[in-house]
């Protein structure tokens, strides 16, 4: 959530940067400033009313002590009026504060200055590419056909048990899935991230804290009886560890990692681009999160990007990195880099990771602060990234590593799988 003082002091910049998201924000921003002026006016009037009431209360006490009962009773009538006025002003202040907060919840984060303008993913900028696209043998198959051929993933069984988008991993497919999770976690902990096992359901406050609510309410599975939400990513419970926390500056930076299943109701469509593992309602993902000093968060973002690169280099998968344009940028993000792996059998790029800096946007919602060198509370910066999302990584391995003899397992994963080939 944007801070009101920042909006007031940078009105034109906020409006121009939000235009990168194709949002005409002038009216919203002007309303924020107007609501805040109303809120401050009411607050001032309330403070003055309470101060006057306190002064009169002391005066009444002195009048009673000196035997001036009639004068004291006259002032009591005045304090009664002031109490009624303060009650009304308090109600007005709460209503105006709620109105302002609800408006702020609707405003996305301000894109960083290097975010390109654009409307769709076609406007994203490719900033890096690495790895050779393999030449597959004649008759090479997409991963959903390979899954059936080698009996490692059963999409129809998942559909029977739950519905579309809930695959069942079997045999070497399940082992490979588990190997990827362990490998990703090991890489992350070796890089200094502390591993956490996190809840798979969160409360409403956690959803608001990281910005999934109210923006993505329709995309989350909701357990209505308990008002809990199945997590769309480990980012939500992981970042909420720090909700309502005041850190010491010396505590920064903080890095955590965790594996969780992820649940998303996002509507699918028909066609090869959503077949198999391309889009799921339940999938596994390993996440990395950072809490950083504002002066170092973009250096940390570069470090996270470099870290994910090393994983893909070890897996020997062809990949590219995109800087997302304003129209494709997530609601809470100031800057996002997407990683995509090339699916040779499908002849297309598949997104496998997003690495983002949210600056103070989440921290303001979370009330995540640290005491700076002057002893004052300051909002921290939060960052997160997939390291990595499993379905499309698995799809890339199955398709890019297929041979006429079977699917060769990347060397770095073989100590985790215990086998070298799926045949």
Q: Are 319 and 312 in contact (CB under 8 A)?
A: yes
384 is in an annotated binding site: yes
16 is in an annotated binding site: no
231 is in an annotated binding site: no
Lowest mean pLDDT among 65-74, 251-260, 274-283, 363-372: 65-74
119 is in an annotated binding site: no
248 is in an annotated binding site: no
Mean pLDDT, residues 229-248 taken together = 98
Give the residue with greater pLDDT, 401 vs 72: 401
C-alpha to C-alpha distance for 77 and 75, rounded to whole angstroms = 5
Q: Enumerate the H helices of 211-253 as residue ranges.
A: 235-239
Q: What pLDDT, on a 0 to 100 scale, did the predictor assign at position 271?
A: 53
Q: What pLDDT, on a 0 to 100 scale, did the predictor assign at position 267?
A: 54
Exposed/middle/buried for 163, CB within 10 Å: 0-12, 13-18, 19+? exposed
Q: Are 395 and 141 in contact (CB under 8 A)?
A: no
Mean pLDDT, residues 343-369 taken together = 96
pLDDT in tens, 132-152: 999 999 999 999 999 999 999
CA angle, residues 301, 307, 310, in degrees to nearest 5: 145
Average pLDDT, the chain: 95
Token pair listed for 220:
């989350």
DSSP states along 95-152 = HHHHHHHHHHHTSPPPPPTTSPP-SSGGGPEEEEEESPPP-PPTT---HHHHHHHTT-
**pTM over 0.75, yes/no:** yes
Question: Parallel, antiparallel, or unpaired for β 194-195 and 254-263?
Answer: parallel
Q: What pLDDT, on a 0 to 100 scale, did the predictor assign at position 286?
A: 98
* Cα–Cα nearest to 284, from 236, 354, 233: 233
Lowest mean pLDDT among 44-48, 64-68, 240-244: 64-68
C-alpha to C-alpha distance for 232 and 133, rounded to whole angstroms = 31
264 is in an annotated binding site: yes
Q: Are 382 and 172 in contact (CB under 8 A)?
A: no
Q: What is the DSSP letter of 402?
A: B
Q: What pLDDT, on a 0 to 100 scale, did the predictor assign at position 64?
A: 83
Q: What pLDDT, on a 0 to 100 scale, did the predictor assign at position 62?
A: 87
pLDDT in tens, 81-91: 999 999 999 99
SS (H, E, C) 86-107: HHHHHHHHHHHHHHHHHHHHCC
Second-level CATH architecture of 121-422: 2-Layer Sandwich (3.30)
CATH topology of domain 4-105: Helix Hairpins (1.10.287)
98 is in an annotated binding site: no
Which helix or strand (DSSP H or E) is residue 252 part of?
none
Residue 389 pLDDT > 60: yes
First to last CA, the chain: 51
**Phi, psi of 244, deg, nearest 5:** 60, 35
Q: Where do the domains of the chain lie?
A: 4-105, 121-422
DSSP states along 297-318 = HHHHHHHHHHHHHHHHHHHT--
266 is in an annotated binding site: yes
Token pair listed for 157:
């069984």
Q: CB-side exposure of 34: number of CA atoms within 13 Å?
A: 7
4-105 against 121-422: fold identical: no
Q: For 48-62, b where at least 16 C-beta lie within 10 A, e where not — what string?
A: ebbeebeebeeebee
112 is in an annotated binding site: no
Mean pLDDT, residues 210-232 taken together = 92
Mean pLDDT, residues 251-261 taken together = 98
Chain centroid to Cα 90, Å, comes to 34
Mean pLDDT, residues 117-128 taken together = 96
C-alpha to C-alpha distance for 121 and 322, rounded to whole angstroms = 9
DSSP states along 53-86 = HHHHHHHHHHHHHTT-HHHHHHHHHHHHHHHHHH
351 is in an annotated binding site: yes
Residue 392 pLDDT > 60: yes
Residue 358 pLDDT > 60: yes
pLDDT in tens, 69-118: 888 888 888 888 999 999 999 999 999 999 999 999 999 999 999 999 99
Which helix or strand (DSSP H or E) is residue 381 part of?
strand 381-389
Mean pLDDT, residues 345-363 taken together = 96
């Amino acid at each position: 959530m944007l801070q009101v003082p920042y909006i007031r002091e940078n009105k034109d910049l906020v409006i121009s940067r939000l235009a990168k998201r194709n949002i005409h924000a002038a009216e919203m921003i002007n309303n924020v400033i107007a609501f805040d002026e109303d809120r401050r006016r009411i607050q001032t009037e309330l403070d003055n009313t309470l101060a006057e009431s306190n002064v009169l209360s002391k005066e009444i006490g002195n009048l009673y002590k000196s035997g001036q009962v009639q004068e004291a009773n006259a002032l009591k009538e005045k304090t009664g009026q002031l109490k009624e006025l303060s009650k009304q002003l308090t109600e007005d202040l709460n209503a105006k504060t709620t109105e302002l907060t609800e408006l702020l919840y609707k405003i996305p984060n301000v894109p960083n200055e290097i975010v390109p303008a654009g409307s769709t993913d076609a406007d994203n900028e490719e900033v890096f590419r690495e790895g050779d696209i393999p030449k597959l043998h004649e008759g090479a198959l997409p991963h959903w056909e390979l899954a059936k051929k080698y009996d490692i993933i059963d999409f129809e069984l998942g559909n029977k048990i739950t519905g579309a988008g809930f695959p069942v991993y079997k045999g070497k497919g399940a082992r490979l899935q588990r190997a990827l999770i362990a490998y990703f976690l090991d890489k992350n902990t070796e890089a200094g991230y502390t591993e956490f096992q996190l809840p798979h359901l969160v409360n409403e406050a956690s959803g608001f804290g990281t910005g999934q609510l109210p923006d993505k309410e329709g995309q989350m599975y909701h357990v209505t009886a308990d008002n809990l939400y199945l997590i769309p990513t480990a980012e939500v419970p992981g970042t909420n560890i720090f909700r309502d926390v005041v850190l010491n500056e010396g505590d920064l930076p903080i890095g955590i990692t965790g594996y969780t299943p992820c649940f998303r109701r996002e509507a699918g469509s028909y066609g090869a681009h959503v077949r198999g593992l391309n889009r799921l309602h339940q999938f596994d993902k390993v996440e990395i999160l950072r809490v950083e000093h504002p002066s170092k968060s973009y250096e940390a973002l570069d470090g996270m990007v470099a870290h994910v690169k090393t994983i893909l280099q070890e897996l020997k998968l062809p990949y590219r990195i995109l800087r997302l344009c304003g129209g494709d940028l997530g609601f809470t993000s100031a800057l996002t880099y997407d990683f995509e792996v090339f699916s040779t059998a499908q002849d297309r790029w598949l997104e496998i990771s997003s690495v983002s800096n949210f600056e103070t946007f989440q921290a303001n919602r979370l009330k995540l602060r640290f005491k700076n060198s002057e002893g004052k509370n300051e909002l921290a910066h939060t960052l997160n990234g997939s390291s990595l999302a499993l379905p499309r990584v698995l799809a890339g391995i199955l398709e890019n590593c297929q041979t006429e003899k079977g699917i060769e397992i990347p060397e770095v994963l073989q100590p985790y799988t215990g086998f070298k080939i799926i045949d």
